[in-house]
Amino acid sequence: MIRFLLTLTALSLAATPALARDILFIGNSFTFGAGSPVERYRPDSVTDLNGEKIGGVPALFRTFAEQAGLDWSVSLETSPGKDLAYHYADRREAIDRRWDVVILQGYSTLDAKRPGDATRHGEAAGRLAALVRARNPEAQVELVETWSRADLTYRPGSRWSGQPIATMANDLAAANRQVARTVAGITGTIPVGSAWNDAIATGIADANPYDGIDPGKVGLWADDHYHGSTAGYYLEALTIFGRVTGHDVRRLGPNERAARDLGLTPAVAKALQRVAWKTLRQR
């Protein structure tokens, strides 16, 4: 009888949903999945504070959470081509409510006028963190380290022109980590750019979209060689999800729902899950 009651208790605990949490994504086209089907993926599963019916990377996060048995309420506030200063100046009223986790994705070069300079980026991140923590002092505020832009690496006229493809992502990562170390309220950073670099270095992803995609590899960039492809955003979402929740993203498996819905093969889904997991373990 005692064993029976213990079994019932264990089953009851296992069936209890994880504590519900709220997460807000603040960002731009890199957040909402521009240039790919990710942009309009499952918009009904998230709350778009701008009412634009976008799903994007936040909808991928929500889909992963459902499969992992985690109860997350997911919202987004995004605008294309904008930096964090824009969101603080123009969208503060929409953002100013209680959140458990806030993901901040800045402009692709940190500063449109001064590429690679994190001064304006860090100041805006600090203001947004203060706004969020005034509502919830325990809120987790994370900066996304974004990926190298192929158009700024393989074409002339950029500070990253002619350099190895990993360089821009490494520079952005270093800048974001410095912001996290020196700006109050920033919890840490999420190594999305490092995950892209790892996918390329291990031969899973192609390094140069301008000369075509090598056989057996995936392309991480969209056709503009700037935004992400479906695979690129999928890897971004996996890295964010793994960092925020601590969930081993490999457990999502080759038949993961979002990958299947978006046309990624089981082999690609599995490979990208492993890259995200490995990158997060190294950080």
Amino acid present at 34: A
Q: How confident is the model at residue 13, as a pLDDT?
A: 33
Alpha-carbon span 258 to 62, nearest angstrom: 10
Q: What pLDDT sits at residue 7?
A: 38
CB 175 within 8 A of CB 167: no
Q: Residue 169: what residue type?
A: A
pLDDT for position 19 = 62
Say how far apart CA 56 and CA 272 lie, in whole Å.
Answer: 18
Fold of 19-282: Rossmann fold (3.40.50)
Chunked in runs of 10, what are the mean pLDDT values of the chain (283 residues)?
39 42 98 97 98 98 98 98 98 97 98 97 98 97 98 98 98 98 98 98 98 97 98 98 98 98 98 98 90
- Per the CB < 8 A criterion, the answer to whether 91 and 77 are in contact is yes
Given this model, what pLDDT does residue 9 score? 39
Number of H helices, E strands in the chain: 11, 6
Residue 200 contacts residue 218 (beta carbons within 8 Å)? no
pLDDT, position 268: 98
Taking the CB of residue 134, how many other CB atoms lie within 10 A of it? 12
Pull the structure tokens for residue 257: 């729902």
Q: Write out the DSSP string of 234-255.
A: HHHHHHHHHHHH---GGGG-TT
Residue 283: what pLDDT?
A: 82
